[in-house]
Chains A and B, each alone.
Chain A
Amino acid sequence: MSGRKVKHVLLVAVLTGLTVAGFSGSSMAQEPIKLGAIYCFAGPCHMYSESAIKGIKIAVEEVNAAGGILGRKLELIVRDTEMKVDVGAREVKDLILREKVHFLEGPCSSGVALALQVVHSEYKVLRITTMANTEAQVVDKFTPYVVQIVPNTYMEAIAATRYLHKRYPKAKKFCTIAPDYEFGRREEAAFAEEIKRLVPDAEIVYEAWPKPGEKDFTSFITAIMAKKPDAVHSSLFGGDLVAFTKQAAPYGFFQKIPFIALYDLPVLLALGEDAPEGVMGFGRGCFFMDPNPKMMAFAEKYRQLHGTYPDSWAVQAYDGVYLLKAAIEKAKSISTEEVIKAMEGLTLDSLRGKFTIRPLDHMGTVPCYQGVIAKDPKYPFKIWKDLSRIPGEEVIRSEESVREIWKKTGVVR
């Protein structure tokens, strides 16, 4: 073999090697992007978590059918926290270390969310929180590895308070009733803050704190009625709100006292005919709260698949997948740090309209919804009328206020 020929063979070998390397490189790129969905399939969270998974699955299928993200398929791995802090911490660790997920979505319970946050932040894995809405995730205990796209306790309560005030501007004497844990405490603190801002001489004459899962609200109802308030703000939800509503109705409670609570789709479905017309509700965004074409198309698709209408939890979980897709495509990478950077300031055209992830604390400017319970001939259950959609920009905690809390809790950013 002449020297020239050797050179030629070598060149071919190198070129082949490069091509093969390039090929294997692109076949590497075909490996799926793993999304760990960690939700709470127990107690009051069970049903919400099932909705969320259904929403996520629809989004994942759509994304994969359209060619995936950066040409890579999205793979879903579902885990259950059993609504327990220790199980949640164990499962999320397993998702990260053994399943090697790239991103996380979930959970349902606010308490579990704060426990997960410690673990996945340590391993530098990003979690999109679509359901657990305690503000502590992005404010008090901020870490860069969380993005929140559900109206948090602060935004939700501020928005509901403004709606209540708009409808009953003369109300001065208030009572509150809320489940006695992280979520209820934070919602009512925000209500107290906002109502005193709107009505300087407002007075909260009675605060009721039933335990989560309370079955008998009779004593609370008579105690509230004895105080003769101008209006009642409540963050009761789910089965508790169903029980409260049924027990309060015979007292003529809803005719006598303006009342606002989390009357979303599952509660209205469970109450059926017992849902009190004219009572105010707030919620996080489902088809009857925001009947835009994109939302209605999703609702129809979901209904054909599952035979029921999707609730807000399915909507938010679905939006979470598309937020991830948009951020990865903007970053052109699945490196956590680069995706986080891409997410900051990103605007998503979601089922609930456009919202933006605020760079400071990773809170999405997601809208909050309010309305009045009413019959609609189109549906076999009651929905809302007099719809109100308050954009997140109007109710999100100010950056100064966030920084002030960070000074107290020791967050440096």
Chain B
Amino acid sequence: MSLDILFNQFMSGIARGALLFLVASGLSLTFGVLRVLNFAHGSLYMLGGFLCYTIWGHLLLPLFGFYIATILSALIMAASGLVIELFVLRRLYHRGWPEQLLATYALILIITDLVKWRWGGEFLSVPRPKPFTGAVFLFDFPFPAYNLFVIGLGVALAVFLWWLVYRTHLGDIIRAAAHDREMVAALGIPIPWLFTWIFVLGAFIAGLSGAVAAPFGAVALGMDIEIIVECFAVVVIGGMGSLPGTLLGSFIVGQVYSFGIMYKPELALAFIFMVMAVVLIIRPWGIFGRPER
């Protein structure tokens, strides 16, 4: 197998990993701080995609329409995140896992039916925005420019989250709250509001990634469940609530899938979950995760 083919397959894996990271980072962030596994994260991602399609269609701006639509979709999803946190999640923090799972699963059903009601069952498509419509040549082999955009956005989000969590005062509080929320509350920091804003940020990221995924493929019902399953694999491998873990997990899942497709396509999906099983056996809390206290 020649080197350029391997390089190409590697780049496909990177692009896939970048998209997974965009979605999984929001999931992991909310879990790390709130300790609530938001099953409906994928649904917020799906809504982001549908919103992007509708806003883009109304704007009719060939040059910036998509970018404006993306930002607006992310903002609308952030606002929905605020509502969901205040009315649903806030009531669940002191409850057990089963209630949290049920409530977020209920959100999936509600959002799916909302989408069905507003957009119907059609699959929709947003064309790739300028200047990312064509291909760029990497070592004489074409590579879709939009994939590079997605990779770039993934890197930018990783840097932003790293800066937020490790280099700001808010980040100190986030990390402290993830570690010991009673202690942080005792210091006079309003934990409920911290949780609200983290969830809003998570919802913003979900909406953003859904909008960015829209020109990548098709916007359709079912894209929520499809992505959330792989995101779980990512965060389980990397470690729940860990930013570097999510990054590594996305990379691993993207590459395992990409080379799996090349050599044994029937088992490509199974390989991902085999890796997950191995990680769970050796390090049940994930590569970068911390054991639950």
In A37-79, the 8 Å CB interface with B consists of 41-47, 49-50
CB–CB B216/A243 < 8 A: yes
Which of B7-15, B73-81, B83-91, B189-197 is near enough to bind chain A?
A: B7-15
Given A215-B216, A221-B12, decide whether A41 and B142 contact each other with a Cβ distance below 8 A: no
B146 (CB) vs chain A CBs: closest residue: A250
- Report chain B residues within 8 Å CB of A226: 1, 5, 8-9, 262
CB–CB B144/A243 < 8 A: no
Chain A nearest CB, measured from B152 CB (Å) = 16
A217 (CB) vs chain B CBs: closest residue: B217
CB–CB B19/A43 < 8 A: no
- For residue A294, CB closer than 8 A to chain B, the reply is no
CB–CB A274/B125 < 8 A: yes
Chain B nearest CB, measured from A192 CB (Å) = 15
- For residue A24, CB closer than 8 A to chain B, the reply is no
CB–CB B134/A250 < 8 A: yes
How many residues of chain A are within 8 Å of chain B by beta carbon? 44
Chain A nearest CB, measured from B259 CB (Å) = 8
- Report chain A residues within 8 Å CB of B283: none
Select one of B116, B221, B262 contacting A219, CB under 8 A. B262
CB–CB A251/B116 < 8 A: no
CB–CB B128/A246 < 8 A: yes
- Give the CA-CA distance A240 to B261 in the complex, in Å: 17
- For residue A209, CB closer than 8 A to chain B, the reply is yes
B10 (CB) vs chain A CBs: closest residue: A222
Given A219-B257, A226-B5, A270-B123, decide whether A43 and B15 contact each other with a Cβ distance below 8 A: no
A256 (CB) vs chain B CBs: closest residue: B142
CB–CB B120/A215 < 8 A: no
Select one of B142, B145, B216 contacting A252, CB under 8 A. B142
CB–CB B142/A218 < 8 A: no
In B116-160, the 8 Å CB interface with A consists of 116, 120-125, 127-128, 133-135, 142-147
A50 (CB) vs chain B CBs: closest residue: B121
- Report chain B residues within 8 Å CB of A272: 125, 127
Given A44-B222, A223-B9, A246-B215, decide whether A218 and B16 contact each other with a Cβ distance below 8 A: yes
Nearest 6 CB-CB pairs, A to B? Answer: A46-B121, A243-B217, A239-B123, A250-B144, A239-B218, A219-B258
9 contacts between A and B (CB under 8 A): A44-B123, A208-B261, A208-B265, A220-B265, A225-B8, A242-B218, A266-B122, A272-B125, A274-B125
Residues of chain A touching chain B, judged by Cβ–Cβ distance below 8 Å, are 41-47, 49-50, 180, 206-209, 211, 213-223, 225-226, 238-240, 242-243, 246-247, 250-252, 266, 270-274
Residues of chain B touching chain A, judged by Cβ–Cβ distance below 8 Å, are 1, 5, 8-9, 11-13, 15-16, 19, 116, 120-125, 127-128, 133-135, 142-147, 213, 215-223, 226-227, 257-258, 261-262, 265-266, 268-269
